[in-house]
Amino acid sequence: MENNLLALLLLLPFCGSVLAFSLPSDRLRPLLLPLCATPHLALTFLVIQSGRPLTTANGWIGVDPLSRLILPVISLLFLGCSFYAVGYLRCRIAWGNRNFVGCLLLFLSAMTLATISRHLGLLWVAVETTTVASAPLIYYNRNRLSMEATWKYLLLGSVGIALAMLGILFIAYAGLAGGEHVSLQLDDILHGAANYSRPWLRAGFVFLLVGFGLKVGFAPLHTWKPDAYGEAPGLVGALLAGGLTSVAFLALLRTLQIMDAASEAVMAREAFLAMGLLSIAFAAVFVVRQPDFKRMLAYSSVEHMGILAIGISVGGVATFGAMLHLINNALTKGVLFLAAANIHRRFGSKKVADARGAISLVPLSATLFLLGFLAITGSPPFAPFISEFTILQGVFSNGHFVTGGLFLFFLAVIFIGMGSTVLSVVFGTPPEKTGTGYENYRDTFATTGVPLIMLLIIFVLGVYLPDPVRHICADAAALLEVRP
Amino acid sequence: MDTLLNLLLLLVILLNFFLLGSSRLVSCIRTIAFQGGILSLLPLLAHGFSGHTLFLAGVAFLLKGIAIPYLLFRAIRQVHIRREVEPLIGYVPTLILGTLATAGAFIFSGRLPLIPEHSQSLFVPVGLATLATGFLMLISRRKAITQALGYLIFENGIFIFGMLLTEAMPLMVESGVLLDLLVGVFVMTILMHQINREFSTMNTDNLTSLKE
């Protein structure tokens, strides 16, 4: 019964995608998105509620505490974006949406598979499918810039994921050289990892870190990110920054689990720490005086992936903080990208020079953008404050004073850098004449309802953390704790 | 069996050099197809005939030897280009770099902690050399299609290395990997077509508007 649940979870968006490609009507097709996303979320809740560990007979697909954390995040974010997409695609009905809707659902299916796969090969296939399925989404606007962004994304993503495949093969070879049964099933690997050949295991880890790190967008592998997030439609940006990065981060966490099981945790965690600090530093450099507010959000995504990596590497209470931060980052990025998309549409530009004074023209979107900025930079009372504070607490209580100091310094720089851009977008003097945007665009419930609800969720999570959420995060964190 | 296997693997290396030195796109794609065809024989020669290896060989032949080259041929027919001019690094320097990388791959794999059965095998050095060739092609060429070819060679290198570990890769996963490759190339060729229509050239030099 429960295995059928998992199959349904995968097949639902996949069948929706097939249907979307075959449906002739551009007007009705977007409705498929909420029609698939709503039962997907319901099924997700059924899956995370059943207390028993769900695994298929061959152990390739299963739900563990980490999947329980990431699956609802993706599902919820996608549901929000699917409702937003209905309103968005109605605005752009002449542009056609067959590929867009079909690829969105395929993307959801691939992300779901990645979160519940317990076989490294299957995980790889799922992550590669997310790349292929999301490339047409980035290309939606069909202009020169989106073409360039898509090409870079596709080529870098494919090469990166190919490196990850090499890493997976190295890990399998580590098993072979260590005299263990060769398998890529995660439980088999975790069981035998103690005997794995060290050189191959370490080489495999490095390749996996680079390969999946490229998808996550750690600096200096993030170069595709500002281009892709900047040129993609806002709701795709939200799904990439909140969903895809979480899935790719999960792949890295699986790698970390393997390294922990092989008692190589020290090396792995040092690598995570270095990547994390480097990402925050890069983000701080590029976010200051950033003239394009969507690219600014991409650098913010680089920053938050860095924060996650630091939280994981420090361990202890910071691991819990990182797990919570993963949820908060995904939802806050949803608010920011969707609000930014509305502002972008009103002004016909995403340059700060052209888009100023949004508060007088699109008051609700501008307010959401401002509040989203305050939330993502860790201001109370929003949830990212709690999670960033927990991570920081973990960093200091574990004696990483230099890391903690740098972390705080870069966070402050990013706050000021993002702040100057956001404030001039929201409060600046509106330009005399706006560009070729939709000048008659007004905030409606269809375009602001979803980010508003997401903002409310992170507000509530910031004020009061419900027990189920706390348990999910704590269970996921327990899985990543180093067992001596 | 083993002599034939080693012969084929050495042929793969020769094809790598040909790819690095050739300026004609049509012959590059033909070479890639040929290389793909050779790779599809490897599972049969290395692990004998069984359901698993036959299926893998069949899928690899269909995709690497036929479908992907077909997509690439269609792409260059649509955009009317035949000749890859002005590579970022000249042909002779790339060939020299390729030779150095291949020699390096052989020396390096001699020092790897391989298990005794694999210490004489050519899979590791040829796999590494092919990876290096693909990487070289990726960074030294400016046309979108040659970058895609570089990625394909890179993937071929991984496929060769994977031959050591066929038992770890279940069939379903292996076919998923190959299918993803096919769809990836398909999307790339569509994009190439669009790039060409928009810029009247496939040079990725034009793709430099997005930067800080």
- Look at A197 and B131 and tell me if their CB atoms are within 8 Å: no
Specify the amino acid at residue A236: V
- Look at A128 and B177 and tell me if their CB atoms are within 8 Å: yes
- φ, ψ of residue A61 to 5 degrees: the values are -125, 135
Please name the residue of chain B whose CA is at the shortest distance from the CA of residue A167.
B158
Token pair listed for A451: 């980010």
> Which of B137, B145, B212 best probes binding to A when mutated, by most A CB atoms within 10 angstroms?
B212
A335 touching chain B per CB within 8 A: no
Q: Does residue A61 belong to any structural domain of this protein?
A: no
Q: ipTM beyond 0.85?
A: yes
For residue A144, give the nearest of B144, B165, B198 by CB distance. B198
Q: What pLDDT shows up at residue A433?
A: 67
SS3 category, A471: helix
Which chain B residues are Cβ-neighbours of A176 within 8 angstroms? 115, 164-165, 168
Give the closest-approach CA distance of B92 to chain A in angstroms.
25
Give the closest-approach CA distance of A172 to chain B in angstroms.
7
- Look at B184 and A128 and tell me if their CB atoms are within 8 Å: yes
Q: What pLDDT shows up at residue A2?
A: 63
Which chain A residues are Cβ-neighbours of B180 within 8 angstroms? 125, 128-129, 132
A55, containing H or E segment:
strand A54-55
Q: Which segments of chain B have a pLDDT < 50?
A: none
Beta carbon pairs, A and B, within 8 Å = 117
Q: Does residue A399 belong to any structural domain of this protein?
A: yes
Q: Does residue A303 belong to any structural domain of this protein?
A: yes
Q: Does residue A253 belong to any structural domain of this protein?
A: no
Burial of A59 (0-12, 13-18, 19+ CB in 10 A): middle
Q: What pLDDT shows up at residue A52?
A: 65
SS3 category, A411: helix
Cis peptide before A220 (omega within 30 of 0): yes
- Look at A184 and B169 and tell me if their CB atoms are within 8 Å: yes
For residue A177, give the nearest of B115, B154, B204 by CB distance. B115
For residue A136, give the nearest of B187, B206, B208 by CB distance. B187
SS3 category, A145: helix
Q: What pLDDT shows up at residue A484?
A: 43
Q: Can you give the pTM of this predicted structure?
A: 0.95
Which chain A residues are Cβ-neighbours of B175 within 8 angstroms? none
Residues of B near A (Cβ–Cβ under 8 Å) read: 112-115, 131, 138, 144, 147-148, 151, 154-155, 158, 161-162, 164-165, 167-170, 173-174, 176-177, 180, 183-184, 187-188, 191, 194-195, 198-199, 204, 206-210, 212
B201, containing H or E segment:
none
- Look at B168 and A197 and tell me if their CB atoms are within 8 Å: no
The alpha carbon dihedral of A18, A22, A23, A26 has a sign of: positive
Q: How many CB atoms lie within 10 A of CB B91?
A: 14
- Look at B113 and A177 and tell me if their CB atoms are within 8 Å: yes
- Look at B209 and A166 and tell me if their CB atoms are within 8 Å: no
- Look at B169 and A173 and tell me if their CB atoms are within 8 Å: no
Give the closest-approach CA distance of B3 to chain A in angstroms.
24
CB A252 within 8 A of CB A479: no
B5, containing H or E segment:
helix B2-21
- Look at B148 and A119 and tell me if their CB atoms are within 8 Å: no
- Look at B164 and A131 and tell me if their CB atoms are within 8 Å: no
The gap between the terminal CA atoms of chain B, to the nearest Å, is 55
Q: What pLDDT shows up at residue B194?
A: 85
Q: What pLDDT shows up at residue B165?
A: 86
Question: Mind listing the pLDDT tens digit of every residue in chain A (484 residues)?
Answer: 567 888 899 999 999 999 999 999 889 999 999 999 999 999 999 988 876 667 777 788 989 899 999 999 999 999 999 999 999 998 888 888 999 999 999 999 999 999 999 999 999 999 999 999 999 999 998 888 999 999 999 999 999 999 999 999 999 999 999 988 888 999 999 999 999 999 999 999 999 999 999 999 998 899 999 999 999 999 999 999 999 999 999 999 999 999 999 999 899 999 999 999 999 999 999 999 899 999 999 999 999 999 999 999 998 899 999 999 999 999 999 999 999 999 998 888 889 888 888 998 899 999 999 999 999 999 988 999 999 999 999 999 988 899 999 999 999 999 999 999 999 999 988 887 655 556 677 888 888 999 999 999 999 999 999 999 999 999 999 998 865 4
Q: Does residue A150 belong to any structural domain of this protein?
A: no
Q: Does residue A431 belong to any structural domain of this protein?
A: yes
Domains held by chain A: number: 1
Q: Does residue A172 belong to any structural domain of this protein?
A: no
> Which of B118, B130, B201, B210 best probes binding to A when mutated, by most A CB atoms within 10 angstroms?
B210
The closest alpha carbon to A245, from A171, A334, A320, A317, belongs to A334
A278, containing H or E segment:
helix A265-287
The closest alpha carbon to B170, from A185, A116, A165, A212, belongs to A185
Give the closest-approach CA distance of A187 to chain B in angstroms.
14
Furthest CA-CA distance within chain A: 73
Q: Does residue A140 belong to any structural domain of this protein?
A: no
> Which of B112, B141, B173, B203 best probes binding to A when mutated, by most A CB atoms within 10 angstroms?
B173
A180 touching chain B per CB within 8 A: no
Q: What pLDDT shows up at residue A315?
A: 87
The range of the structural domain enclosing residue A340 comes to 264-484
Which chain B residues are Cβ-neighbours of A183 within 8 angstroms? 168
Which chain A residues are Cβ-neighbours of B158 within 8 angstroms? 162, 165-166, 169
Give the closest-approach CA distance of A177 to chain B in angstroms.
6
b/e sequence A410-449, b meaning 16+ C-beta within 10 Å = bbebbbebbeebbebbbebeeeeebeebeeebebeeebbb
Which chain A residues are Cβ-neighbours of B185 within 8 angstroms? none
What is d(CA B156, CA B15) in angstroms, rounded to the nearest whole number? 12
CB B31 within 8 A of CB B7: no
